[in-house]
Amino acid sequence: MTIKSKGAVLFNMESKRPYFDSMPLKISNLIIDPPGENEVLIKIRAAGLCHSDLSVIDGNRPRPLPMLLGHEASGEIIQLGKGVKRFEVGDHVVFAFLPSCGDCQFCKSGRAALCEPGAKANNEGTLIGGYRRIKLNSEYINHHLGVSGFSEYAVGSVDSIVKIDKDVPFEIAALFGCAVLTGVGSIVNSAKLKFGQTILVIGLGGVGLAAILGAKAAGASKIIAADINPKKREIAKSFGANYVIDSSDKNSLNYLKDITGGGVDISVEFAGAISALEFAFKATKRGGTTVTAALPNPKARLKLSPVTLVGQEKTIKGSYLGGCIPSIDIPAYIELYKSGRLQVEKLISHRIKLSEVNQAFDRLASGEGIRQIIIFD
Ligand SMILES: [Zn+2]
Ligand SMILES: [Zn+2]
């Protein structure tokens, strides 16, 4: 049986701000197909707004349209498709924004962030089985990263969801699907921060602030947080940053080198601006590692002198999905949250209704707030 659902659909990537006026996301009446093999139907309870949703809306991260947006969500399973073994009706789950098939060469070698069938499905706007389950005016529309969480209901693959304990509030659980997974994972999996190391986190949106929480939990000795927005630098202090800097200020690099004895061991960049990545690389000391987890426009290019990589033994690397295995890392990070060592609740700045999603993206685009969460009844 199909089910009716209201959801926020993106039809074009040309809308001008303010989005409150141009309304790039149209709240649409959708029909959701029943779950197929190895899929489940989920009643969405909470969904977070992430900067990479904004990158789809403004065309920096082109995706097939029309698309039911949203890639950070939690909810409750209300129906099982054929062959589903590990989940039951009533289970609470969080989506990961990249499905992991468990069977490709990358999944088998523990690198779920590189899952090939997962990436193919995400690029094509389907679930990992290749199907679309969302209809608008009797035409199928695209899924967003296997999630499409800005909707009352969603069909998801079992490869896209992780079961969570029922005592974790849905609005908290949603954060683990993107902000926390990407932010904390980039620190512990990609940068492999060691106890006592110094770190620079540049770009202080939800993911960057989650990375600060991760760096603190992992035992960084000095956490330096950088952003061009003074409000975000203030917020970073309350997340555990020991120093904050404005990376657009020409004195900042020297100041950073002074307080760290020549540069940080690890720098992690989430800003999506080439100038920020260049700053992160320069701030990294000899032998150190620069990680980028941002998604700049595909046409952007980085200028870099390769001899510094050699002569100073520096590493520069990318991080997707925080280098995580969602089914292992999400439950682990939730345990850290429960024990008070990962205070992810601080990330929530606004709770909104689905109908307020366009103005919420105006706030995100102007750098206000941290994580805004759509709460569904
Ligand atoms: Zn995201
Ligand atoms: Zn795979």
The residue ranges of every structural domain in the chain are 3-177+343-375, 183-320
Q: Domain 3-177+343-375: which topology?
A: Quinone Oxidoreductase; Chain A, domain 1 (3.90.180)
Number of the ligand closest to the Cα of 117: 2
Q: Nearest 5 degrees, angle CA 352-CA 296-CA 141?
A: 55
Task: Give 275's pLDDT tier (boundaries 50, 70, 90).
Answer: very high
Task: Give 319's pLDDT tier (boundaries 50, 70, 90).
Answer: very high
Ligand 2 centroid to 328 CA: how many Å? Answer: 15
Of 91, 90, 118, the residue nearest 104 (C-alpha)? 118
Running DSSP on this structure, what letter comes out for residue 71?
-
CATH topology match: 3-177+343-375 vs 183-320: no
Average pLDDT over residues 30-42: 98
Write out the CATH class of domain 183-320.
alpha beta
| CA 73 to chain CA mean position, Å | 11
Ligand 1 centroid to 51 CA: how many Å? Answer: 6
Of 268, 274, 267, the residue nearest 248 (C-alpha)? 274
22: phi then psi, degrees, rounded to nearest 5: -80, -20
DSSP string, 276-300: HHHHHHHHEEEEEEEEE-----TT-
**Chain-wide mean pLDDT for the chain?**
97
Number of the ligand closest to the Cα of 121: 2
Residue pair 206/179 in contact (Cβ under 8 Å)? The answer is yes
pLDDT digits (tens, 9 = 90+) for 132-168: 999 999 999 999 999 999 999 999 999 999 999 999 9
The Cβ of residue 317 has, within 10 Å, a number of other Cβ atoms equal to 13
Ligand 1 centroid to 280 CA: how many Å? Answer: 21
Beta-strand runs (E) in the chain? 3-10, 25-32, 39-49, 67-68, 73-80, 92-95, 134-136, 139-143, 153-157, 161-164, 198-202, 222-226, 243-245, 264-269, 284-292, 315-318, 348-352, 371-375
Ligand 1 centroid to 72 CA: how many Å? Answer: 6
- One-letter amino acid identity for 97? F
Average pLDDT over residues 224-229: 97
DSSP string, 113-169: GG-HHHHHHHHHTS-TTS---EEETTEEEEESTTT--SBSEEEEEGGGEEEE-TTS-
Of 26, 96, 27, 15, the residue nearest 54 (C-alpha)? 15
How do strand 264-269 and strand 198-202 relate by DSSP bridges?
Answer: parallel
Task: Measure the CA–CA gap between 8 and 27, rounded to whole angstroms.
Answer: 5
Residue pair 365/54 in contact (Cβ under 8 Å)? The answer is yes
Number of the ligand closest to the Cα of 272: 1
pLDDT digits (tens, 9 = 90+) for 244-265: 999 999 999 999 999 999 999 9
Ligand 1 centroid to 367 CA: how many Å? Answer: 15
Ligand 2 centroid to 295 CA: how many Å? Answer: 21
pLDDT the model gives residue 253? 98
R_g (Cα) of the chain, nearest Å: 20
- Which residues make up the environment of ion ligand 2, defined by Cβ < 5 Å? 101, 104, 107, 115
Task: Measure the CA–CA gap between 226 and 245, rounded to whole angstroms.
Answer: 5
Ligand 1 centroid to 202 CA: how many Å? Answer: 16
Task: Give 377's pLDDT tier (boundaries 50, 70, 90).
Answer: confident
Ligand 2 centroid to 320 CA: how many Å? Answer: 14
Ligand 1 centroid to 94 CA: how many Å? Answer: 13
Give the contacts of 259 (CB within 8 A, at least 6 positions apart): 222, 224, 243
